[in-house]
Amino acid sequence: MVAQHYILRTAFGGDFSAPARSMLEKGCVVLDVGCGPGTWTMEMSTEFPNSSFIGIDCLNAFPRDIKPKNCHFRTCTVGQQSSTTLASLPFPDNSIDYIFQRDLNLGLQAHMWSPLVKEYLRILKPGGWVELMEPDMETQSSLRNECAMNDKLLYGLSLRQQDPYVGRRLPSILAVNGFRRVESEFQSLPLGWGSSHASPLSSPTQPTHPNASESNPRNPSLPVDLSPPCSEFARAVSSHYLFTLQSLQPWLSAVINISPEKYAATISNLPAEWKQARTYINWHCAVAQKPRTEEPF
């Protein structure tokens, strides 16, 4: 999750997209939902010392002692209370200025999204902002083995009653549940290929070869590698997505009824396929504002 934070920070050009900088500099109350190890929460609380930051997560993986004084953490389950209702968040009405939530879809069933967004509307102050970030659970520009993995993952999510495409629907979920000034963007993250976000000073340059069929000097039987350079960012995205698939193994291998060994062998071959096909994954970000006054739908 720490690696994911810096990947997304690089991809989206900063820690947040909501038009909340002025509010953060003056001082406001910020809620980070699903804060994980608290990386975003602590970075933001350091950058904006006049604001108060609260990170909540169902696991206490966040720091307990070494953290900025304006940064607070607590355990809180954001999810189902019963088969039909969602547990209320432990915050009063109109008490939060800005809500940030990232990568929570694997913890929410599809029917939970609207009630959760309504909870955000309840606890936000009039004029407050919400920002949601979620990935597509299906990669794009995929070859045969990756397509098969996509199908297995989508099948497993359907059994869990989860929406693999909720990232694309974030703007409509916000709009139909009372938010206004809804805006969205997405970024395509390359899985181990290309020069995306490479530093001009540190990225390798592609060598020029007068003869494309020239032999490799280290091994004359192999051709010279004329493939474009790969940025450290693209390598990080590939490594992180592979780790994500590895972390899903205890659940997903049981769902698709293959052994852990076969599952590991299958995903170990995917990075080469990603590079060949120029596979990528989309991350979506949506921001919206709570109306300053009561507005009819």
Say if residue 211's pLDDT is above 50.
no
Q: Which of 56-65, 166-175, 240-249 has the lowest mean pLDDT?
A: 56-65
Task: Output the CA–CA distances (angstroms, integers) from residue 79 to 104, 140, 153, in the order listed.
Answer: 10, 29, 21
Which stretches does DSSP call E strand in 41-117? 52-57, 71-75, 96-102
Task: Tally the C-alpha atoms within 13 A of residue 231's C-alpha that lie toward its C-beta.
Answer: 17
* Residue from 113, 84, 110, 245 nearest 164 by CA: 110
| pLDDT, position 87 | 72
Give me the residue spans of the domains in the chain. 1-136+162-190+281-290
**Phi, psi (5° rounding) for residue 59?**
-115, 145
Task: Output the CA–CA distances (angstroms, integers) from residue 70 to 51, 53, 260, 276, in the order listed.
Answer: 7, 6, 44, 47
Say if residue 63's pLDDT is above 90.
no
Q: How far apart are CA 194 and CA 230, in angstroms?
A: 5
Mean pLDDT of 177-186: 97
Please report, as a single letter, which amino acid is at residue 268. Answer: S
Prediction pTM value = 0.88
Region at 27 (left for phi over 0; alpha for psi -120 to 50; beta for the rest): left
What is the architecture of the domain spanning 1-136+162-190+281-290? Answer: 3-Layer(aba) Sandwich (3.40)
Question: In the chain, pLDDT over 70 holds for what percent of residues?
Answer: 86
Say if residue 133's pLDDT is above 50.
yes
